[in-house]
């Protein structure tokens, strides 16, 4: 009887090991597929995916600004009703990431825009994503934004694009709008640093991080690429801080990918005062997307930004953290389509 029980236990143990191996293989296969999808998206390859998201609902307006709040799920992940890319004169979206991120963060948005018949382009700013420049050598906003500026410089004269900037990518698209207002049809700031003339991108985060001067002296996240006796060259939050600040509503798989992909942030561009003129930047058509569960850039700060530097339209996404391309990708997708259709 004892031998029989032992034999059964061994069989159960072998079965359990086989199941564990099978489960591990499934998880590994799933992760491989996810990474392949990410790589394909970055390279602008057509994907077919469905994402959880939201529909918009009119909630009223403030002065001449249009405001929408998105919270209701799409039915069956279908595309936005009555949308046709054929009616659009501008179909190119240039997606610009924020601090620490890279082109990789837009992979869901790239896929959904392509499925809608549009042409999304992603850029890695200098020292970000797959751009292997040492972040410690990136000292100005011009250096940091160079890949975006070079893309716009090489754009055919008759072409226009819709710029989308996330977080501190807002400073880069503001800089681009000042440089090339004739090439930018619309600029969309996604929980972004929509700075005023003479303001530093870092100033927008001062409510959460303290003054720039205090941060430069006391922050535990600073990087001294030129040695401790020289001014800091960059910063990078610890993983637990990043999770809490940027991804409090994002799926675990996207958080894991971000933890593997985030890079240090060059400090110089964050501390540079941006020069913007009414004659160039001021003529641009700007739109702002607010994220209402954002812990990195609070809804109050975002509201202050749109009051002080009033855009043409304001959209709001409920249930989104500071990374709506992860936490509410279809809500963000729908907003981008709505803005693209505005005459």
Of residues 54, 167, 250, 331, which has the active-site annotation?
Answer: 167
List the chain domain ranges: 43-341
pTM of this structure: 0.79
Q: What is the DSSP letter of 248?
A: T
Among candidate residues 252, 254, 315, 186, the one with its CA nearest the CA of residue 35? 254
Report how far residue 38's alpha carbon sits from residue 47's, in angstroms, rounded to the nearest whole number. 10
- What parts of the chain have a pLDDT lower than 70? 1-83, 207-212, 214, 217-218
10 Å CB burial of residue 261 (0-12, 13-18, 19+) is: middle
- Residue 40 confidence (pLDDT): 45
Is 203 tagged catalytic?
A: no
Give residue 86's pLDDT: 75
Which residue in 166, 322, 323, 331 is the catalytic one?
Answer: 322
Residue 325: which of 128, 147, 105 has the closest Cα?
105
Active-site pick, 124, 203, 254, 294: 294
Max Cα separation, the chain? 92
Residue-level pLDDT at 220: 86
Helices 239-246 & 252-261 angle (0-180, nearest 10): 130
Q: Which residues contact 93 (CB under 8 A, 6 or more apart)?
A: 113, 118, 119, 120, 121, 161, 162, 164, 336, 340
Query: Residue 28's pLDDT is what?
Result: 54
- In the residue annotation, 7 being an active-site residue is answered as no
Q: Is 294 among the residues known to form the active site? A: yes
Q: Which CATH superfamily is domain 43-341 in?
A: Alpha/Beta hydrolase fold, catalytic domain (3.40.50.1820)
């Amino acid at each position: 009887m004892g031998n029989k029980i032992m034999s059964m236990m061994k069989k159960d143990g072998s079965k359990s090991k086989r199941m564990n191996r099978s489960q591990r293989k499934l998880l590994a296969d799933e992760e491989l597929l996810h990474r392949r999808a990410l790589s394909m998206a970055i390279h602008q390859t057509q994907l077919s995916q469905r994402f959880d998201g939201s529909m918009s609902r009119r909630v009223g307006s403030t002065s001449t600004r249009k405001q929408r709040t998105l919270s209701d799920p799409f039915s069956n992940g279908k595309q936005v009703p009555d949308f046709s890319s054929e009616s659009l004169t501008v179909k190119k979206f240039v997606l610009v990431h924020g601090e620490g991120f890279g082109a990789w963060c837009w992979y869901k948005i790239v896929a959904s825009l392509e499925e809608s018949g549009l042409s999304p382009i992603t850029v890695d700013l200098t020292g970000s994503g797959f751009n292997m420049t040492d972040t410690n050598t990136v000292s100005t906003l011009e250096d940091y934004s160079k890949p975006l500026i070079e893309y716009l410089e090489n754009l055919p004269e008759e072409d226009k694009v819709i710029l989308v900037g996330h977080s501190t990518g807002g400073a880069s698209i503001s800089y681009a709008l000042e440089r090339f207002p004739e090439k930018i049809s619309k600029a969309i700031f996604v929980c972004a640093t929509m700075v005023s003339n003479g303001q530093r991108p870092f100033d927008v985060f001062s409510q959460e991080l303290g003054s720039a001067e205090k941060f430069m002296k006391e922050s535990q996240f600073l990087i001294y690429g030129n040695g401790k006796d020289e001014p800091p060259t960059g910063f990078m939050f610890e993983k637990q801080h990043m999770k809490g600040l940027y991804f409090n509503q994002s799926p675990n798989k996207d958080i894991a990918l971000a933890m593997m992909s985030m890079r240090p942030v060059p400090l110089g561009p964050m501390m540079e005062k941006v020069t913007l003129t009414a004659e160039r930047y001021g003529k641009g058509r700007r739109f702002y997307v607010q994220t209402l569960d954002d812990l990195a850039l609070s809804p109050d700060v975002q509201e202050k930004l749109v009051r002080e530097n009033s855009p043409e339209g304001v959209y709001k996404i409920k249930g989104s953290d500071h990374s709506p391309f992860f936490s509410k990708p279809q809500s963000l997708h729908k907003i981008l389509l709505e803005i693209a259709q505005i005459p």
